[in-house]
Homo-oligomer: A and B are copies of this chain.
Amino acid sequence: MKKIFVVGLGPGELNQATGRALEALENSDIIVGYTVYIDLIKEHFQHKKLLSTAMKKEAERCMLAVKEAQEGQVVSMICSGDAGVYGMAGLMFEVAEAEGLLDELDIEIIPGITAACSGAAVLGAPLMHDFAVISLSDLLTPWELIEKRLEAAAFADFSICIYNPSSIKRHDYLQKACDILLKHRSPDNVAGFVQNIGREGEQGIVMDLQTLRNTKVDMFTTVFIGTSQTKNINGKMITPRGYHLSGGSNE
């Protein structure tokens, strides 16, 4: 059976990857990825054939991996974070299916630490209870659906983690998102964000939702909104694991 690993490396440096992820790279002949991620691993995997492609060429990158695997090479496709969360895992299956090669290929997904988890760790413990992960990128998703998800998550008192909160073209999207959340949440609902998770310049800031609404963040930022129960304890964002049932209704 021809083999492709789709490997999540976690955030930043290689010590944030699992042993299993590094074993997969070690057991591969070829490692394929976006240039920035290949740069990250190349020092440790110089003895492998390394292939990089530009950003936004995801389908081409998967085709490249499939083609090499067909020729008998064991291939690892690398992603930052988790391969299965806004990563390459699904597209790899879709490309293999479109090529009629699903029966010939053993595609193994190796999970990594996604930004919801690595960013949460920087801020304290914002995701201790039920949570929703929402991307504000409307490149592949209608904005109306993003709005619907934001509103549903706010209404049902989820902790919310926001990926892709901003870009040059979408500079006001976080503000628009906060305005939707503020329909169901108090302006002093605890919120926060983390920049450059796991890399130089890593910084987490805890604030309230109203302040977040009036803050500009860049594209290397992951945003967190707590539940109505989340507390700011000494600058850490802590969502209690349990609702305090003794104190009556919490909604």
> Given contacts A91-B241, A142-B243, are A129 and B86 in contact (CB under 8 A)?
yes
Count class of interface residues, chain A? 35 or more
Q: What chain B residues lie within 8 Å of A112 (beta carbons)?
A: 113, 117
A121 touches which one: B84, B126, B245 (CB < 8 A)?
B84
- The reply to whether the CB of A125 lies closer than 8 angstroms to some CB of chain B is yes
Q: Which of A102-150 contact B (CB under 8 A)?
A: 102-103, 109-114, 117-118, 120-122, 124-135, 139-142, 145-146, 148-149
- Segment with Cβ contacts to B, from A30-38, A46-54, A153-161, A206-214: A153-161
- The reply to whether the CB of A202 lies closer than 8 angstroms to some CB of chain B is no
Q: In the complex, A14→B23 CA distance in Å?
A: 13
> Given contacts A18-B16, A127-B84, are A241 and B153 in contact (CB under 8 A)?
no
- The reply to whether the CB of A89 lies closer than 8 angstroms to some CB of chain B is yes
A109 touches which one: B125, B129, B130, B158 (CB < 8 A)?
B125
Q: Which of A149-198 contact B (CB under 8 A)?
A: 149, 151-153, 155-158
Q: What chain B residues lie within 8 Å of A201 (beta carbons)?
A: none
Q: State how many angstroms separate the Cβ of A41 from the closest Cβ of chain B.
A: 13
Q: What chain B residues lie within 8 Å of A128 (beta carbons)?
A: 84-87, 89-90
Q: State how many angstroms separate the Cβ of A52 from the closest Cβ of chain B.
A: 20
User: How many monomers of this chain does the complex have?
Assistant: 2
- Is chain A's interface secondary structure helix, strand, loop, or mixed overall? mixed
Q: State how many angstroms separate the Cβ of A182 from the closest Cβ of chain B.
A: 17
**In the complex, residue of chain B having the shortest beta-carbon distance to the beta carbon of A58:** B241
Q: In the complex, A84→B116 CA distance in Å?
A: 10
Interface centre among A10, A93, A146 (most CB of B within 10 A): A93
- The reply to whether the CB of A236 lies closer than 8 angstroms to some CB of chain B is yes
Q: What chain B residues lie within 8 Å of A89 (beta carbons)?
A: 120-121, 124-125, 128
A-B pairs, 4 with minimum CB distance: A140-B242, A90-B125, A15-B19, A152-B156
Binding site for B on A (CB under 8 A): 8, 10, 14-20, 23, 82-87, 89-94, 97, 102-103, 109-114, 117-118, 120-122, 124-135, 139-142, 145-146, 148-149, 151-153, 155-158, 233-234, 236, 238-243, 245, 250-251
